Amino acid sequence: MKTPTINRQSGVTLVELLVAMVLSLILGAAVVTTFTNNSRSFNQDESILHMQDDARQALNEIAFDISMAGNYAELLLPSAVVPDGSLTLGTDCGPGLPNWMLLTRNALTGDNFSIWALDNATAGAASARHSCIAGSEFEDGTDVVAVKRVAGGRVATPLAGRTYLRTNGTVGLLYKAPFPVAPAIPVVAPSSDWEFRSNVYYIRNFANTAGDGIPTLCKKALQGSPPSSGTECLATGIEDLQIEYGIDTTDNGNPNIYLPNPTLAQLQTVVAARITLLARTIDPDTLYDNDKTYSLSNAPDYTPADNFHRRVFSTTVGIQNIRSLNDMGF
């Protein structure tokens, strides 16, 4: 008796193949989606961290500079600082007074120029006050602040072409190194040299190329030989700078009122400053809608309605050197 032979089919059916393909597509789509979301989240976090680091660094720099306004080494009075007759500027940055970036005071009025404010300026007002700021580069509606001081340490060997203050504690001469053979005023030894700083902070409406639309915190700084106003930028993505100034109205060394738009006369008794920056990421996040409203000092409320992440950074600093002058009755 013969045993019947049974033929068994090997492989998979068409239905099984289709099911496997569908499952593979679903799994592949899930992997791609997860990778895309993780990549987007990583890029977003990286962009926000970069914005925060830049903004904090910029805030620290401008805060330190403002806190040191009016520091002229061992000299107590800005009136004791005299520019040498041979010291001139290639490009100035003032309101029409010759060599304004070198002036610590107005010789006619006696006003101290260690710190000077401009509130919520238009492009025209900014360039009228500070000639080195072109109206086409200025971000309308932001503050401008000018600060003059010396750097924090004595200089052993002044570098040729740079601007220094030589003082013996009684008089001080601003000069371009090397020290002039026949200075405008004698500075009797023992004396010391300090590098002179003159900075004007403002918001520029571009980062690297005019029209790129990336707001940037910059400053016009005294640099080069001959001394001249040049541009140095601190951080990209800074949309607004707002400063409120603590004015001492009772001569007790403490701020009694904070003003966003003080006059030059009121700035003679400034003892503190509240500094606020509004920063945004450089690149937009297409899956994020920023419908928040930002209220900074006396600037108009701002609702961007775009795809950029933003943060507000703020700090308050004392202005010790001007406070000391007030305490002494100057």
Contact 100, 106 (CB under 8 A): no
> Are 55 and 238 contacting, i.e. CB atoms less than 8 angstroms apart?
yes
Residue 329 has pLDDT above 60, yes or no: no
Classified as helix, coil or strand, 240 is strand
Q: Residue 11 has what pLDDT?
A: 64
Amino acid at 285: D
Going by C-alpha positions, the residue among 280, 302, 299 that lies closest to residue 291 is: 302
> Is 62 in a helix, a strand, or coil?
helix
- What is the per-residue pLDDT for 134? 97
* Residues 85, 87: Cα–Cα separation, whole Å: 6
Per-residue pLDDT, averaged over 221-234, amounts to: 92
For residues 215-230, give the mean pLDDT.
93
Q: For residues 31-58, give the mean pLDDT.
A: 80
45-49, 199-203, 267-271, range with the lowest pLDDT:
45-49
The two tokens of residue 230 are 């040049």
For the cut 80, the answer to whether the pLDDT of residue 146 exceeds it is yes
Terminal CA-CA length for the chain: 130
Confidence band (pLDDT; 50, 70, 90) for 37? Answer: low
Regarding predicted confidence, which is higher, 41 or 109?
Answer: 109
Residue 263 confidence (pLDDT): 95
DSSP states of 110-125? --B-SEEEEEEE-HHH
CA angle centred on 186, ends 183 and 190, rounded to 5°? 120
Q: Are 214 and 282 in contact (CB under 8 A)?
A: yes
Q: Say which range, 4-18, 198-212, 222-236, has the weakest mean pLDDT.
A: 4-18
So what's the pLDDT on residue 277?
98
Question: What is the band of 108 on the pLDDT scale with cuts at 50, 70, 90?
Answer: confident
Spell out the domain ranges in the chain: 43-327
Q: pLDDT tens digit string along 176-208?
A: 999 999 999 989 999 999 999 999 999 999 999
- pLDDT at residue 323 above 70? no
Q: Is 180 exposed, middle or buried (0-12, 13-18, 19+ CB in 10 A)?
A: middle
Contact 190, 214 (CB under 8 A): no
* 29 phi, psi to nearest 5 deg: -65, -40
Cα(216)–Cα(236) distance, integer angstroms: 4
pLDDT in tens, 109-133: 888 999 999 999 999 999 999 999 9
For residue 163, give the H/E element and its range: strand 163-167
pLDDT of 265: 92
Residue 252 pLDDT grade (very low, low, confident, very high; cuts 50, 70, 90) = confident
Please determine, for residue 1, whether its predicted confidence score (pLDDT) is greater than 70: no
**pLDDT for position 159:** 93
Q: What is the pTM of this model?
A: 0.87
For the chain, give the percent of residues with pLDDT over 70: 91
Q: Fill in the amino acid letter for 167.
A: T
Mean predicted lDDT score pLDDT of the chain: 90
- Furthest-apart CA atoms within the chain: distance in Å: 134
